[in-house]
Chains A and B, each alone.
Chain A
Amino acid sequence: MTPETLNAAASIIAPLLIVLAVVVSRRARFRKRIVITDFRRGVRFVGGVCTGVLEAGNYGVDPRKEQINIVDMRPQPILMERLGFQDALQRQGLISLGTELFVRDPKLAAGALRDEVKDAYILARDAVRTAMSTQIFADSTDAAGLSQTLTTAIRAVLLKVGMDISDIEVTEFWTSAPSKQYSPDSVSTVVQ
Chain B
Amino acid sequence: MTALLVLLALFALFSFGVSRLARLGTLTTVSLLPHQRGVLFRQGKPIRDVGPGKHRVWAGRELLVHGDVRPISVNYENQVVALADGTAALYGFSASVQVRDIRKAIYSARDYTQVPAAVLLRSARRQFHVSSSSSLKIDKEAITNRISQQAKAKLDAAGFDLLSFRLPQLTLGTLQQRPAEQPPRP
| Interface residues, chain A, with chain B CB atoms under 8 Å away | 6-7, 10-11, 13-15, 17-18, 20-21, 24-25, 28, 33-39, 55-58, 60, 72, 74-79, 81-82, 94, 96, 98, 100, 117, 137, 139-143, 169, 171-177, 180-182, 186-188, 190, 192
Q: What B residues does A81 contact at CB under 8 A?
A: 121, 125
Closest to A6 in B: B2
Q: Please name 6 further chain A to chain B contacts, defined as beta carbons within 8 Å, in addition to the given A14-B12, A182-B177, sorted by A numbering.
A: A7-B2, A60-B23, A96-B81, A174-B185, A188-B80, A192-B121
A37 touches B63 (CB 8 A): yes
B65 touches A176 (CB 8 A): no
Write out, one digit per residue, whether chain B residues 76-110 have a CB within 8 A of any chain A CB (1) or not (0): 00011110000000000000000000000011111
A96–B184 CA distance with the chains assembled, in angstroms: 13
A40: min CB distance to chain B, Å: 8
| Interface residues, chain B, with chain A CB atoms under 8 Å away | 1-2, 5-6, 8-9, 11-13, 15-16, 19, 22-23, 25, 41, 43-46, 59-63, 65, 79-82, 106-111, 114-115, 117-119, 121-122, 125-126, 129, 176-186
- From known contacts A79-B121, A143-B185, A181-B179, infer whether A35 and B126 are also in contact, taking CB-CB under 8 Å: no
Closest to B124 in A: A171
- From known contacts A21-B15, A38-B46, A173-B186, infer whether A14 and B121 are also in contact, taking CB-CB under 8 Å: no
Q: What B residues does A20 contact at CB under 8 A?
A: 12, 16
- From known contacts A25-B15, A174-B179, A187-B177, infer whether A57 and B43 are also in contact, taking CB-CB under 8 Å: yes
Q: What A residues does B119 contact at CB under 8 A?
A: 77
Q: What A residues does B12 contact at CB under 8 A?
A: 14, 17-18, 20-21
A65–B90 CA distance with the chains assembled, in angstroms: 57
Q: What B residues does A182 contact at CB under 8 A?
A: 177, 179
A181 touches B9 (CB 8 A): no
A37 touches B65 (CB 8 A): yes
A18 touches B8 (CB 8 A): yes
B61 touches A33 (CB 8 A): yes
A171–B129 CA distance with the chains assembled, in angstroms: 7
Closest to B112 in A: A74
B115 touches A17 (CB 8 A): no
- From known contacts A33-B60, A181-B180, infer whether A192 and B5 are also in contact, taking CB-CB under 8 Å: no
A190: min CB distance to chain B, Å: 7
A169–B107 CA distance with the chains assembled, in angstroms: 21
